[in-house]
Chain A
């Protein structure tokens, strides 16, 4: 085709309609998947959540109306102490783990801004924990935290007597072990993201500030932090969201125990789903969480947009 043969305007218009049609067709598979996996399940969930239906009740789920209980599931929620303490525990884990991961990640990232021999290798090793399948990481730390295991062995090097702490069967220590695992696995993510941000801070500005006599801390606070603001928010947001969902490592290490000492929201829902099988109630919990999270997410996005 030569330039002279460029199509006249009248012919371009159908082409645009053609584009709209193709666009519709291209997005159709994804739309269907969303419908099939999100919209339809949510409606189903809403329906089930208004009943006492369970897979053992003898009727298939479309007949769940026979077990209609109006909003009883939702009012039960409010007085469900186990649910509230699972929620509190999840928030506690977020409040401890995310700041530690952030500070460790930021500290390591600052050390990696300048070149040093072996930097590439060190970098590859440091981000390795993210690649380890979380379930495998769970087994790994389950082994490490056994009372006759390596963690106690290392501690024994520093104490006169051999240490034999039963990490995973103590209420408080089990929580510590679970959080250590999360920090081990996800500090690398903070490191990776924050390093990408730090590298992007223009070095001429830093040099100029240094010439003007700004201390490293002043440079960090007045140049680096403002530049990194978006990146820091993204990194924190990702970790808070992921940490809220914490399940794999924790469930494998402790199964939520001893008792309910490490039971988070996901573990609680899992247990009620598979052990107690009261699915009508689980559906109500799940929907309540989705609604609260949605409101939180919309609020956060609006604030971020400003």
Chain B
């Protein structure tokens, strides 16, 4: 089919426009992250789109180095929140993958736990806000408030159902002669390594992105990156845009890289397994 020149021109300009709109906010944040104080404080006509004088000061500031152009110093560095985010996302992923993989196998092979799919879908459907009160009460009750593993537990369940299993795996379990448990461990799991890895990366991105649950369940000691980010403003300087942008850039790196790695599985993951690509 030949297409008119006008159509091709329209097509390319539409795509370019979409790319520009997509990229400008991200590039703006990246540019802010490398600006010196005077530049990220500038407004209106003094805005610079590309830093005149690129610097790593914002990143240094985040990790405790004082900045001669800022009166304030941070009372705590970004190191611990980054660690907290990493730990809670990692442990949450491990918990979700363990419980989820086992349950998915039990369900698809032996028909056990038939109530699970609906229960887990409903957990995903409801606003987390709506069950947070009892969860907060339980956490305080159990002394888990403000610990990253309390967080991980929440993640664990909310994300469990993501781990949905393709049918081929059942055939592998048909190999008889050793116990079903061994079949599961030795045959099924290794066969599923690639999809399971993709699923874990997906769950990791979701855990890493969480804000609300961390906001409610952590107070100070183990706040995660998004919660910590809010503290990067002071009455003296107002919003510390440069530091925020630098931290935002750091926070954006893992999911973007992982997202590219699992690009093939994204449709499936994002539609909760309803669509198979």
Contacts and interface: CB of A to CB of B under 8 A. Distances in A.
A132 B26 contact: yes
Q: Report the interface size class on chain B.
A: 35 or more
B107 A27 contact: yes
A290 to B, nearest CB: 5
- The A interface is mostly helix, strand or loop, or mixed, namely helix
Contacts of A135: 209, 211, 225-226, 229, 251
B44 A164 contact: yes
A30 B116 contact: yes
A48 B134 contact: yes
Interface stretch (A95-103, A123-131, A171-179): A123-131
Given A1-B177, A210-B1, A238-B271, A196 B259 contact: no
Interface in B222-263: 225-226, 229-230, 239, 241, 244-245, 248, 251-252, 255-256, 258-260, 263
Interface residues of A, number: 97
B37 interface: no
A72 interface: no
Contacts of B134: 40-42, 44-45, 48, 283
Interface of B: 1, 11-12, 14-15, 18-19, 21-26, 28-29, 32, 42-45, 47, 49, 98-100, 102-103, 105-107, 109-113, 116, 119-120, 122-123, 125-138, 141, 153-154, 156-158, 160, 176-177, 179-181, 184, 205, 208-209, 211-212, 216, 225-226, 229-230, 239, 241, 244-245, 248, 251-252, 255-256, 258-260, 263, 266-267, 270-272, 274-275, 277
7 contacts: A19-B180, A27-B102, A27-B107, A30-B116, A128-B22, A148-B42, A279-B133
Interface of A: 1, 6-7, 15, 18-20, 22-27, 29-31, 33-34, 36-38, 40-42, 44-45, 48, 55, 61, 107-108, 111, 116, 122, 124-137, 139-141, 143-144, 146-150, 152-153, 162, 164, 184, 188-189, 192-193, 196-197, 210, 231, 234-235, 238, 241, 244-245, 247-248, 251-252, 265-266, 269-270, 273-274, 279, 282-283, 286-287, 289-290, 293-294, 297
